[in-house]
Copies of this chain bind each other. A is one copy, B any other.
Amino acid sequence: MSGRPKIFDDQEVLSKAADVFWRQGYEATSTEDLLEAMGIGKGSFYLAFKGGKKELYERALALRSDQAMARFRRELDAADDPVEYIREFFRRVAHSTRAKHQNGCIFGNAVAELSNIENPMMKRAATHLQGLEALFLDALLRGKKQGTLHSKLEPAVLARLLLNNWNGLGITRRIYPDNDALSELIETQLKVLD
């Protein structure tokens, strides 16, 4: 081993690439765009990511997925009231910048863009969203147990409902990138949890 030292960190450039993909989508992003954002040259890039743009996208999405799931899991476990944590999760959407609103949900974007052109990649994004739904369900079941969830609806159905609300927000926030309007929408949606 040894050899010339790398001038970049895989995680870091993956994160930068993820941001570009998030903003522009998969097809609209050129490798040139990515190289510039990552701050590395072609030589380094194709050595580190032999699969090119496709591998980069997969790994960038996987990174974001792991990060998002870990954060949700961690914060949920630390929360006294799991149902209230779900509320906070949704309310965070209404505390974003306009630029963030325009990006939507990176996984929803992947599902929308790739379902008919890169099915395996779309499925990975879908799996993440199913994982989010599973976390919703976990929170709801705990809420039910500790009595903070009063809804008579089946928790599984409720979790699916929350996932759909989330998916919807990824689009709606771009049509109405206004925190007040989004807040009203979100608070109304959350009534289903009472």
Instruction: List chain A positions with a Cβ less than 8 A from chain B.
Output: 23-25, 27-28, 102-104, 108-109, 111-113, 115-117, 122, 126, 129-130, 153, 157, 160-161, 163-172, 174-176, 181, 184-185, 188-189, 192
Contact = CB atoms under 8 A, between A and B. Distances in A.
Contact of A129 (B23, B126, B175): B175
A97 to B, nearest CB: 13
Central interface residue in A104, A115, A117, by most chain B CB within 10 Å: A115
Contacts of A23: 116
B111 A115 contact: no
Given A157-B188, A167-B167, 6 more contacts: A28-B117, A111-B171, A112-B170, A157-B185, A160-B185, A167-B172
Contacts of A166: 168
B116 A113 contact: no
27 contacts: A25-B27, A25-B113, A28-B113, A28-B117, A103-B115, A103-B116, A104-B115, A108-B112, A111-B174, A112-B170, A112-B174, A115-B174, A129-B171, A129-B175, A130-B175, A160-B184, A160-B188, A161-B185, A164-B169, A164-B171, A164-B172, A165-B165, A167-B167, A167-B169, A168-B168, A168-B169, A170-B171
